[in-house]
Amino acid sequence: MLSVALRNSSLSVLLLGIAIPISAQTSQPTAPAPPPPAIKEPTHADLLRGSYGPYRANNDLLFYHLDLRVNPEKKFISGSNTIRFKMLADGTRIQLELFPTLQIDKIEMGKTSLKYARDGGTFFVDFPKPLRTGHTYSIDVHYSGSPVETGRFGCFTFKQDTSGHPWINTACEETGASVWWPNKDQWRDEPQDGMEINIAVPNGLMDVSNGKFIGKKDLGDGYTRWDWKVHYSINNYDVALNIGNYVHFDDKFGDLPLDYYVLPEDLDGAKRQFAQVPGMMKAYYHYFGEYPFKKDGYKLIEVPYAGMEHQSAVAYGNHFHNGYLDRDWTGVGISPRFDFIIIHESGHEWFGNAITAADKSDMWIHEGWTTYLECLYVEYNYGHEDEVKYVNALKKKVKNDRPIITARGTNAEPPQDQYFKGALFINTLRSIVDDDARWFALIHDFYQHFEYQNIMTEDVEQYFNQQTGMNLTPVFDQYLRHTAIPALELKFDEAASTVQYRWKADEKAFAMPVRVGLKGHWETIHPTTEWQTMKTPLTEDQFEVATDLYYITVDKLAKQ
């Protein structure tokens, strides 16, 4: 979502602090840990939204055509969404979503009016005769009403800029796109042939939405329609409208159009700050390949909230300053060198938009990977030493109070650990591979393999297992499906010049190489959950663990 998300979706608090040391950490007596937060039981509405039930699974989305009129004075919207789909099984019903705060005016298939049944935010469309497997159909859902502001960024907000002009924006990743338009509101199925977006707004205002700008038309009634064409599949929460008194300027990165839309008073700041975009593109091209939505171009659009990774229409609200909302995001002096929202939210074009989790439970595929892209941006521009500082500074943001992967099919939002623990886990995988040339080829090919697909954690895990020849499943499970991180337990016998070692982990089969000894002269050992012994000339005080390369704890236990 918004990534740190601001798109994220779910970063509601900035956790700033000092950098943690990158030497081995030994356990100290601490106060009892607070109990983990209670996991909310899914409601009937959550299960309707989260599950991929029979009336979703029986059809495959092909195309959306969203045609909407927005009345800022009345805070009212009206229009239709044409939904084209192919049946995967014979059936007389399909499932769609639209918040109950909005009225369904009628649903038609051609000239035939269709019956429907509403259940909260879900509605079921019924057909008078069976739709046949393999056949393509199209329905028009006409709707209207006043969207209710809700969620972190309001989902659909009617605001004004400082000059008093209407400023209307959407950001609805967590709450769901059906807060303002009818659609198949889940992540597994995207309209594979893309989307048309037509937004009519009062004359003098501009709408900026996803995709390529096709043109505008004066409707002759005080409104102008702005037309956009999305050439790729798109996640429903990525669909956006941005209505305001925007001015436009542009640039290019090679043959990729870069378009920027900001309020007039912010034009100078935007020209200064958005000059970082080509450098961001250069870094991400280097690691993963070219921008995935070239036919649609790349846009940055000023909004009154922090930011969001809307596909090809990235929302920007970082006050035209480096860092994140005028802060040193990681607390080690590196994030003030660049604009966090540009770097993070744009990274979602690769992870979150081009590669999308098939279920909200696996959202770390969006946020963990995009947070890791921040680290790669730092490495590309400032070197590996600064990347190590940056990624380790994320440790203080991790809560470790519940697993990253939530229950599937329940519409449950994963914890914010999906960002920071997710990135630290990926950085740990890099150290397991222990060959940077191989690692960078691996993540490049991983992205290229799954580009434009909706995937699950099992797909990621299987790919890394196959490509590395390792059984990384217990490692994935420990970091993503359990709360605690692995602890390396050490017992020293200085008289015998030995140290015993093992992993303490929830996964019985957990095994992970780790570098120990003296920094600069590391020795790689291969602990499992069973005790092993090695010779060492180092004392307990001298013996170090490369905790800056892994997300682990180290427990030096008293000799029995």
Q: Which residues are annotated as a binding site for Zn(2+)?
A: 344, 348, 367
The Cα 3–Cα 306 span in angstroms is 10
Residue 319 zone, left/alpha/beta (φ > 0; ψ -120 to 50; rest):
left
The residue with tokens 């070219």 is 290
β-sheet bridge partners, residue 139: 83
Strand partners for 518: 521
State the Cα–Cα distance between residues 119 and 412, nearest whole angstrom.
Answer: 19
DSSP H stretches of helix in 225-334: 267-273, 277-288
Enumerate residues 6+ apart whose C-beta is below 8 A from 533. 498, 499, 500, 501
Positions marked catalytic? 345, 419
Beta strands in 173-253 (DSSP E): 195-202, 206-209, 212-218, 223-230, 241-244, 247-253
């950001």: which residue's tokens? 171
CB 96 within 8 A of CB 122: yes
**Hey, is 231 helix, strand or coil?**
coil
Spatial distance between the Cα atoms of 398 and 552, rounded to a whole number of angstroms:
12
User: Hey, which bits of 110-184 come out as E strands?
Assistant: 112-113, 115-119, 122-131, 136-145, 155-160, 166-171
Mutual orientation of helices 277-288 and 364-382 as an angle, nearest 10°? 110
Alpha-carbon span 343 to 279, nearest angstrom = 10
The residues near 306 (Cβ < 8 Å, ≥ 6 apart) are 2, 6, 153, 317, 318, 324, 325, 341
CA–CA separation, 76 and 127 (whole Å):
30
Contacts for 35 with CB less than 8 Å, ≥ 6 apart = none
**Residues placed in the known binding site:** 344, 348, 367
Q: Residue 314 belongs to what H/E stretch?
A: strand 314-316
Counting Cβ atoms within 10 Å, is residue 554 exposed (0-12), middle (13-18) or buried (19+)?
Answer: buried
